[in-house]
Amino acid sequence: MPVDGRLLSPATLDESALTGEPLPVERRASEHVRSGVVNSGPPLDLVATAVAADSTYAGVVRLVEQAQASSAPFVRAADRFAILFVPFTLLLAGAAWAIAGDPVRAVAVLVVATPCPLLLAAPIAIMSGLSRAASIGVVIKGGGALERLAGGRVVLFDKTGTLTQGHPVLAGVVTARESLDADEVLRLAASLDQVSAHVLASAIVTGGTDRGLTLQMPTDVEEVHGYGLAGTVGAHRVKLGKASWIVGDDPPAWVRQVRRRADLDGSLTVFVAVDDEPAGAFLLEDAIRPDAPRMVRALRPALHASGQGSVVLVSSIGGLLGRGSSVAYAASKGALNTLMLALARAMAPAVRVNAVAPGFVAGGLPSRVLTPEQHADVERVQTEAAVLRRVSQPAEVAALALFITDKAPAMTGQVVAMDNGLHLNAG
């Protein structure tokens, strides 16, 4: 989007440039969208609410320009040193000339004592560090931030794009009936998605080619706004898109199982029909980077060496109440709480281990796996069930994790519930 605006029609948007989340987001008509996001669906109508100079993207550009224009503290210190050092060097050169009676000695002093190497080396070192970090996917705001990293004591890992690959990949294929061949269902869907510009289409196509499937070019392709894609692949009519379009408003048991699995794994689902019969579903997720476990293990010696290391796991109130989107979800969070206790014992006394157990968090996973209407209903129910009559915000969860990490040296082996009093009404 070139400018900030208000949607006049539903849209599927890629907001990864602003939020870091690789999976597309469904936005309703009348919702506000920010510049810098990319349309991942059919054409949309937008009413601009700000000029380009006042847009979100322009603000990001200004921040980058300010960072580039600012000097790092070390560079500024080198400049101040040079201001004082130059007159001293001139006096020293003059003294050498006067004592030796040879101007060559003065020149030798100027060559040796010139501050130019320092003035050049400092910014070059900073820029080289920033460039090296950018080449491996680490964006640092400026030289000052790079210097302050040396004194950093807290590292916060954003899962998306840091511990994960930052783009959706095909994680599983579920067929509606045992008689259906999963590879054939995937082949038909991937063939159809070859002509789609949707951000999830490339994941399905890549999943098909990675399995060595031979794809066909589809014909009679039709994009149904807000629902999905339909076309002919070989002798079959294929439809690909939302569950409501593929299986209707009364989904069978296998669809409910797919949705529960998607909720547990944090996956997105795409459903497929072949010859007007539901054929299966695809599970798409942001996969863990292959080198993420090695990176996490590499941090352990540093944690122990510091003598004051802290690890905060993100659990869920479901692990304490035995409630959640599914039994499996609640059980997995309960297991995470038990893992936290074991780690707290094993890593003490050098490292503290705790867990934060949020309740419903605004803008969390439900906002990406539910329709806007369904999400609004869930948020309303959660608000009414909590004694504080509110839901948590992402910044609140982050602030609690930071407090435990930096301001609670006596806390370890604890699960801290942050559910707005939801557990008080759980009985």
Q: Which residues are marked as active site? A: 158
Tabulate helix, strand, coil % of the chain (nearest 5): 50, 20, 30
Phi and psi at residue 138, to the nearest 5° = -110, 115
Sign of the CA dihedral running 140, 145, 151, 152: negative
**CA–CA separation, 125 vs 334, rounded Å?**
48
Residues paired with 46 in a beta bridge: 7
Cis peptide before 43 (omega within 30 of 0): no
Residues paired with 285 in a beta bridge: 169
Q: How many other CB atoms are found less than 10 A from the CB of residue 141?
A: 14
Helix (H) or strand (E) holding 33: strand 32-33
Written as one letter, the residue type at 218 is P
Helix (H) or strand (E) holding 382: helix 372-385
Q: How many other CB atoms are found less than 10 A from the CB of residue 73?
A: 12
- Asked if residue 85 lies in contact with residue 91, where contact means CB atoms within 8 angstroms, the answer is no
Structure tokens at 247: 């299986």
Nearest Cα to Cα of residue 175 among 43, 274, 100, 264: 274
Q: How many other CB atoms are found less than 10 A from the CB of residue 228?
A: 24
Residues paired with 232 in a beta bridge: 219, 237
**CA–CA separation, 387 vs 67, rounded Å?**
44
Nearest Cα to Cα of residue 167 among 59, 23, 279: 23
**CA–CA separation, 50 vs 45, rounded Å?**
15
Nearest Cα to Cα of residue 344 among 310, 308, 315: 310
Structure tokens at 162: 């840091």
Residue 56, C-beta contacts closer than 8 angstroms, at least 6 positions apart: 4, 18, 34, 35, 36
Q: Specify whether the backbone of 20 is left (phi greater than 0), alpha (psi in -120 to 50) or beta.
A: left
Residues paired with 239 in a beta bridge: 230, 273
